Amino acid sequence: MTLPQLFFLYFAVSMTGLSLLVVTRRNPVHSVLWMLVLFLHIAALYLFLNAEFLAAIQIIVYAGAILVLFLFVIMLLNLRREETERMFQDQWPVGAGIGVVLAVFFVVIVGKIAVLAPLGEYSIDAVQAEGHIMSIGKVLYTKFLLPFEIASLILLVAIIGAVVLAKKRI
Amino acid sequence: MPGTYIPTNYLPVAIIMVFAALVGLGAVVAGILVRPRRPYLQKLIAYESGNPPVGEPRYRFSVKFYIIAMLFVVFDVEAVFLYPWAVAYDKLGIFGFVEMMLFIFILLIGYIYVWKKGAFVWE
Amino acid sequence: MSVSAMLLVFIKTILVVSVFLIHVMYVQYFERKVIGHMQSRMGPMRVGWHGLLQPIADSIKLFFKEDIIPSAADRPIFYIAPIIGVIAGVSSVAVIPLWENFSIANLNVGILYILALSSIASYSVILGGWASNSKYSFLGGLRSSAQVISYEIAMGLSLVGVMMMAGSANLNDIVKAQANGWFIVPQIIAFVVFFISALAETNRVPFDLPEAETELVSGFATEYSGMRWALFFMAEYAGMFVMSGLAATCFLGGWSGPQIPFMGTMSGLIWFLMKLYMFIFIYFWIRATLPRYRYDQLMGLGWKIFIPLALLNIVITGLVKIL
């Protein structure tokens, strides 16, 4: 096993473990903290994929914005009651069992049928030469122009939705 | 493909983060042996200007904070779209300028809507 | 990367960060002296010549202080919160170029790295406030996080103009792009937005609402004592250094300046430190001069004035670059 693969192994294992920690904590604020650690691991994994811009965005948007929103929502809840109530439904062992079986199937099947796509023109060296942000910028605003403009419409819907939802409650 | 590349230029970042964590931990841990530890009930209750604490400290707060967090997510994503555009601006030329103006214009509609709805007013 | 190269990086990093931490420790002496003289006082005078050993005396005092953990606190988060702040504050310094072609880490995403870490720093405040389980702390943490996230957008958008001018987010390239003139002239709007947002981002006067003594005692840090409180303090001052360094790098040409005789490459460091400390002096000056903002004014300023101004600056910069 090469050194980069060892790093990947570490990230894969610890990210799975962290995800389990997120869903099994009794206190939701502790879950958020573990999720923060999880997001940092995802960002680091992006670095190992030579995608430093995505790593920065992972932290700015997910850790810096979405998780803060989670935290605000959790703080709006009544945590005292949350801590005394049952965490999982009775059938959770069945759910966990199905999850494990599916995971095994997934590993077996992906191992059998996975075919690597042909390498594109943005090899590691090409991205290193001009920088990852520049590579994304050049492609996103020419080749993927339409998805980019559609993103603005989706964001518009999100803005309006946020206000409408909150206004109803007031 | 995972497992082929190591971002060596991020090594100092890892070192500095570990070092900062050690400085933070060390500053707290090193003092354990020398600092006094004399806790008693009155010292350990939450500070409320000298009075005994009343009620639950983590009470429900204004839903305004939630709206701000929500809008923050949206505008943060907008800003994220601007970063690669700004870096690649010289390569994109007038075409890039026009498309980003369209993007900003659409979001401006939402911004004005939110403003008119009074989300930025704190009473 | 060979082992010797890694060792070199290690030594370089630890050395620079240690020097940085000494600066962080001493800047509070500088602050007390500046504000003291602005208020016709002398500031610290007792410990050492003109109080020069004051920060060391303060550190020793804090080291021997009792570490009080309120019985209602959420212990793990109470422990972790200040350390998150220190990690985020101190490691932001890694990408700031200190002299020609020298920064601890030369990253292509330099600006975004700082923005990312400053968004992590807001956790230390909100979690510290929440974990203390006290009303003052909780409100302080809540207010502060809402303030920090509001101004983060304005700050990010104001730096977009700089990235457009330089065509890069790498801070070394941004300094080199200012060879023909500092960005403060074409990006004056961005500079004003950035500097004021940076004040709010680091919770400095006039935007230090999270710790508004008159209403919230010490805000999120009310229940913290001794060394843990000092860590919050350290994170705040490290953040101030990073923001001043970023302002100097993005708008005042960073390390660039006329060669100082006999100094070699260190001439760049001297220019950089002069610009950095000028900004830090302005921070203190503002603290000695301005009263605190009201919370609604603060949020209104961020959302209604700075965000449109920053967007306008992007449009103007784009137009100017095309023409």
pLDDT tens digits in sequence order for chain A, 170 residues long: 788 888 889 999 999 999 999 988 888 888 899 999 999 999 999 988 888 899 999 999 998 889 988 888 887 776 667 667 777 778 888 988 999 999 899 888 887 887 777 877 888 888 888 888 888 888 888 888 899 889 889 989 988 888 887 765 54
DSSP-assigned beta bridge partners for residue C102: C99
Nearest residue of A to residue B65 by CA position?
A: A72
DSSP helix/strand/coil, C223: coil
Q: How far is CA C213 from CA B103, C140, C205, C207, C208, in A?
A: 43, 10, 12, 12, 9
CA distance B111 to chain A (A): 8
Q: Under a CB-based contact definition with an 8 Å cutoff, are residues A61 and A4 in contact?
A: no
Interval C13-32 mean pLDDT = 91
Distance between CA atoms of residues C297 and B45, nearest Å = 34
Residue A79 has a pLDDT of: 67
- As a whole number of angstroms, the distance between CA A69 and CA B63 comes to 12
Evaluate whether residue A134 is within a structural domain.
no
Residue A150 lies in a domain: no
* Binary contact (B113, A137; C-beta < 8 A): no
Q: Is B77 close to A155, i.e. CB distance below 8 A?
A: yes
Q: For residue A19, is it within any domain?
A: yes
Is C178's pLDDT higher than 80? yes
The C-alpha atoms of residue A143 and residue B101 are separated, in whole angstroms, by 18
Rounded to the nearest integer, the mean pLDDT of chain C is 87
Structure confidence at residue A167 (pLDDT): 67
CATH code of the domain containing A33: 1.20.120.1200
Q: Who's near C278: CB < 8 A, 6+ residues apart?
A: C248
**Which pairs with CB-CB distance under 8 Å and at least 24 residues apart come from A56-61?**
A56/C109, A56/C112, A56/C113, A56/C115, A56/C116, A57/B80, A57/C112, A59/C116, A59/C117, A59/C119, A59/C120, A60/B76, A60/B80, A60/C112, A60/C115, A60/C116, A60/C119, A60/C156, A61/B73, A61/B76, A61/B77, A61/B80
- List chains touching B (3+ CB pairs under 8 A): A, C
More confident call, C119 vs C207: C119
Report the Cα A28 to chain-centroid distance in Å.
18
Residue of chain A minimizing CA distance to C120: A64
Which pLDDT value is given to residue A170?
46
CB–CB of A60 and C119 under 8 A? yes
CB within 8 Å: C120 and A63: yes
How far is it, in rounded angstroms, from Cα C226 to Cα C204?
Answer: 21
In a domain, A13, yes or no: yes
The whole-angstrom separation of Cα C94 and Cα C79 is 25
Predicted local confidence at residue C211, as pLDDT? 67
Q: What is the pLDDT of residues B5-64, one digit of tens each?
A: 888 888 999 999 999 999 888 888 887 888 887 878 777 777 777 677 776 766 767 777
Euclidean distance between CA atoms A154 and A135, whole angstroms: 24
CB C310 within 8 A of CB C190: yes
Res C210: pLDDT: 67
Q: What are the C-alpha distances in Å from A98 to residues A19, A94, A102, C150?
A: 17, 6, 6, 43
Peptide bond before C97: cis, by omega within 30 degrees of 0? no
- Mean pLDDT, rounded, for C46-68: 85
What residue numbers bound the domain in which A10 lies?
1-83
Measured CA to CA, the distance from residue C187 to residue C183 in angstroms comes to: 6
Assigned domain for A6 exists? yes
- B115–chain A Cβ distance below 8 A for any pair: no
User: Rounded CA gap, C22 and C15, in Å?
Assistant: 11
The verdict on a CB contact (< 8 Å) between A116 and B1 is yes
Of C136, C275, C149, residue with least CA distance to C203: C149
Q: Is the pLDDT of residue B122 over 80?
A: no
pLDDT of residue B121 exceeding 50: yes
Model confidence at C212: pLDDT above 70: no
What does the pLDDT average to over B76-80? 90
Choose the mutation target among B13, B18, B74, B104 for the interface with A, i.e. most A CBs under 10 Å: B74
Q: Provide Rg for chain C, Cα atoms.
A: 20
Q: pTM (2 decimals)? A: 0.90
Q: What would be the CATH architecture of the domain defined by B8-116?
A: Up-down Bundle (1.20)
Single out the residue of B76, A130, A39, B14 nearest to residue C112, CA to CA.
Answer: B76
Query: Which tokens belong to C289?
Result: 């001069």
pLDDT score for C99: 86
- Please indicate, yes or no, if residue A98 is contained in any of the structural domains: no
pLDDT above 60 (res B1): no
Q: What span, in angstroms and rounded, lies between the C-alpha atoms of C269 and C259?
A: 11
Q: Which residue among B71, B106, B117 places its CB closest to the CB of A167?
A: B117
Residue A52 domain flag:
yes
CA dihedral sign, ordered C245, C250, C256, C258:
negative
Q: Distance between CA C138 and CA B47 in Å, rounded?
A: 12
Task: Tell me the count of B-C CB pairs closer than 8 A.
Answer: 199
Residue B3 pLDDT exceeds 70: no
Report the amino acid identity of residue B79: A
Question: Comparing C246 with C263, which gets the higher pLDDT?
Answer: C246
Size of chain C in residues: 323
Give the residue among C62, C74, C16, C50 at the shortest CA–CA distance from C234. C62
Q: Is residue A160 part of a domain?
A: no
The whole-angstrom separation of Cα C170 and Cα B89 is 15
Contacts of C170 in chain A (CB under 8 A): 131
> What's the confidence (pLDDT) of residue C298?
83
Number of domains forming the structure of chain A: 1
Per the document, the length of chain A is 170
**pLDDT for position C196:** 92
pLDDT confidence of residue A166: 72
- A-chain residues within 8 Å CB-CB of B103? 148-149, 152
